Structure 1
Amino acid sequence: MGTAGWSIPSALSDHFEAEGSGLERYARVFSGAEVNSSFYRRHREATWRRWHDAVPDDFRFAVKLPKAISHDLRLHGGEAELDIFLGDVAPLRAKLGPVLVQLPPSLPTDTARDTAFFRELRRRVAGRIVVEPRHRSWAAPYAIAMLSDFGIDRVYADPQLDELRAAVKLDGFVYVRLHGAPRIYYSAYSADQIAAYEQMLSRAATGSWCIFDNTASGAAIGDALELQRLCRR
């Protein structure tokens, strides 16, 4: 479990060792982080290498597919862009965790396009791929079967359309993204909500992820610490 990014609010700094960079301090407490910035822009090779070297061997980075592929090209083609992106993150080596594909709410399924894209993505990525679709058509049996055939997992998110949430299998590997409630990206989760997520995750397979993305007000770190505390009881 962890957060999108690794910014530590000053109010919670006493939960982390004082020495080291922000990422080094974060990685002594949490075992993973989600890199959302890769959605918006490329990072230099030296940046990825620095992040790799800053964390323990068992730490993993989930990386978000660039919006140039998911939102601008809308999954049409994109082979060259995929190769650039995967070349960029290659310095993470064994510390590369799931590749996250977040789709725009306006993108419905398309059999030929979806099959071609996810076939190319799977051909290039041997590890975990997780997809967060946001158009209700992705709850259709075709979409569920297509992603399963390629060994691609579906994200359990909050907020999320009921149909899409129902399509997520919670008894195996699961990737949970919690964006904040009631105000997305800002609100902290209540103690009861976090306890409910802990119960849900207790049924998931070892190696599952839970990422708090309610970072705009600094709530994510506190929520992740509370979930971690509950999981360690």
Structure 2
Amino acid sequence: MHPIHIATAGWSVSSRWAGAVPGPGTHLERYGRVLPAVEIDSSFYRPHRPATYARWAESVPPGFRFAVKLPRTVTHERRLNDADEPLDRFLGEVTHLGDRLGPLLVQLPPSLRFDAAVVDAFFGRLRRVFMGELVCEPRHASWFADGPEALLADHAVARVAADPQPAEGAGEPGGWAGLAYLRLHGSPVMYRSDYPPDALRAMAERLLAEARERPVWCVFDNTADGHALGNALALRDLVAAVADTG
């Protein structure tokens, strides 16, 4: 069985979940005691100093992993073109997570159509300087076809399985088959909906099935109304329970 990394987008601990995430310590230190991973989304909006990443790495136990989203300068403003300078700056910062660094997440704008030349050049350049895990979350329908899937696989880039799916086929993992990365944004209302118990149990069974073949990440991004942490903790317990009875 491969590792299952259950996480949320960010590590804020609201008063609603304080009892389930005991102190003392910072929110990250407390979070790191109950979940094995987290996704840093703030890196999309602003850079963080190398010392900040190093401090975060020191705040969590061995085996904990950070997934980190690429800056919007790279993905949304430059749209993968001529992005060497902001990409190199980001890598110079994020690598200070050391052995706590997990996948880098390349989330693309919904308007960004697949362009084989652009995608091949971008991931080729990124792969020359970063050999760790890469995941891509495209949201334009043109990405969900054999050609894009093959090109992502050629660069060892796993494609995100998203809920709700932005296009047909986007709800299942794709690209490189060595990693499954699920992002649960909340359904039916993105970023707000709570996942009910039956959906979480089905997800637990899905993660365990995936983990027979490859490492798995499952990130709850339904943070707007504070459901992400509760869903992640419930899923953690369900995975353990299903594994014990399976």
User: TM-score, length-normalised on structure 2?
Assistant: 0.91
Tell me, in whole angstroms, the C-alpha distance in 2 between the residues paired with 1:184 and 1:130: 21
Structure 1 residue 221 and structure 2 residue 226: aligned? no
Distance in 2 between the 1:81 and 1:171 partners? 28
Change (3 A) 1:167 1:229: closer
Aligned to 1:46, the other structure's residue is in SS state: helix
- The match for 1:131 is 136
Aligned position for 1:59: 64
Instruction: Please point out which of 104, 108, 114 is paired with 1:109.
Output: 114
For structure 1, the residue ranges without an aligned partner over 5 or more in a row are none
Output the CA distance in 2 between the equivalents of 1:36 and 1:184.
16
1:89 maps to 94
Alignment-mate amino acid for residue 219 of structure 2: I
CA distance in structure 1 between the aligned counterparts of 2:51 and 2:156, rounded to whole angstroms: 31
CA distance change for structure 1 residues 169 and 194 in 2, over 3 Å: closer, same or farther? Answer: farther
Residue 230 of structure 1 pairs with residue 238 of structure 2: yes
Q: Which runs of 4+ in 1 moved over 3 A?
A: 169-172
From 176, 179, 184, the equivalent of 2:185 is 179
1:33 maps onto 2:38 in alignment: yes
2:194 counterpart residue number? 188
1: CA distance, partners of 2:147 / 2:177:
21
Offset of residue 167 of structure 1: 6.0
- In structure 2, C-alpha distance between the alignment counterparts of 1:19 and 1:232, rounded to whole Å: 26
Query: Contact 2:162 / 2:184 at 8 angstroms: preserved in 1?
Result: yes
Q: Distance in 2 between matches of 1:11 and 1:138?
A: 39
**C-alpha distance in structure 2 between counterparts of 1:51 and 1:171, whole Å:** 30
- Measured after TM superposition, the shift of residue 165 of structure 1 is 2.8
| CA RMSD in angstroms, aligned pairs only | 1.5
Q: Which moved more, 1:58-67 or 1:198-207?
A: 198-207
2:71 maps to a residue whose letter is P
Residue identity in the other structure for 2:111: S
Letter matched to residue 195 of structure 1: R
> What is the DSSP-based 3-state SS (H/G/I as helix, E as strand, rest coil) of the residue aligned with 1:83?
helix
Q: Which residue of structure 2 aligns with residue 3 of structure 1?
A: 8
TM-score normalized by the length of structure 1: 0.96
For 1:139 and 1:83, how far apart are their aligned partners in 2?
28
Task: Give me the whole-angstrom Cα distance separating, in 2, the residues matched to 1:113 and 1:134.
Answer: 16
CA contact 2:158–2:177 (8 Å) conserved in 1: no
Residues 172 and 129 from structure 1, CA distance in 2 versus in 1: closer, same or farther, beyond 3 angstroms? closer
CA distance in 2 between counterparts of 1:9 and 1:110 reads 41
CA deviations on 1:201-232 (whole Å, 9 max, x unpaired) are 11113531101011111100100011001011
Identify the match of residue 121 of structure 1 among 120, 123, 126.
126
Equivalent of 2:215, from 207, 222, 227? 207
